[in-house]
Amino acid sequence: MRLHFVANGRAQNRIVVVPVKGFGNAVRRNRCRRHGKEAYRALKHRVRTGFDLVVLCFPGDYSFAERCNQLSNLLLKADLLDKEY
């Protein structure tokens, strides 16, 4: 996964999860999007607000737990995630 973000001046975040070009068939792309959105939803209460987030997903045989861990690490590196939990 790769994370791009920019401040949006709003009170909430906006997020889009996008598989890279050539990711696979539609089933795999849709599963990737669902896992990415659910991973964000699980972490949403810890993420700082006021940002537009783009999450790029790369092909791989990742489980939902692995995608959650990837997103959590990316948000920590970007200093968008509270470390208190």
pLDDT tens digits, residue range 63-84? Answer: 999 999 999 999 999 999 886 6
- The domain 2-59+70-77 is classified under which CATH number: 3.30.230.10, 3.20.20.140, 3.40.50.970, 3.40.1350.10? 3.30.230.10
pTM, to two decimals? 0.88
Q: What is the pLDDT of residues 23-48, one digit of tens each?
A: 889 999 999 999 999 999 999 999 99
Ordered by start, the domain boundaries in the chain are 2-59+70-77
Q: How far apart are CA 29 and CA 26, in angstroms?
A: 5
Asked if residue 71 lies in contact with residue 55, where contact means CB atoms within 8 angstroms, the answer is: yes
Q: Strand pairing of 51-57 and 2-7?
A: antiparallel
